[in-house]
Amino acid sequence: DAKTTQPTSMDCAEGRAANLPCNHSTISGNEYVYWYRQIHSQGPQYIIHGLKNNETNEMASLIITEDRKSSTLILPHATLRDTAVYYCIVRVEDGNKLVFGAGTILRVKS
């Protein structure tokens, strides 16, 4: 599985959009980009995933660059409850595991 690089931490003001970047420059054509988050003392929670097109669901939007070497997770209106560690993961099409890095600690502040 390709390696991902994320900033160690980010701050965001409550109500503003949180934009979390991820670099995956060695991604292969059959690898998907997944985002999970882990709120303190809980198990990771799935957010969104995509292959090459931008994706949106009720939680977030995922923007993948045309060359697929990087992506951005967007939380459109961050709340205090969005404070968590956010993991960007690339995963092969028939992969059976998630390979987590260190993730980005997002702190949403009022």
Among 7, 14, 23, 49, binds other proteins (CB under 8 A): 49
Our finding on whether 32 is near other proteins (CB under 8 A) is yes
Q: Tell me the two tokens of residue 18.
A: 């949180």
Tell me the closest approach of the beta carbon of residue 14 to other proteins, in angstroms.
Answer: 26
Measured distance CA(95)–CA(93) in Å, rounded? 6
Are the beta carbons of 44 and 88 closer than 8 angstroms? no
The answer to whether residue 44 forms part of the interface with other proteins (CB under 8 A) is: yes
Nearest-angstrom CA–CA distance, 63 and 66:
9
Asked if residue 107 binds other proteins (CB under 8 A), the reply is no
Residue ranges in contact with other proteins by CB under 8 A:
32, 41-46, 49, 85, 87, 91-103
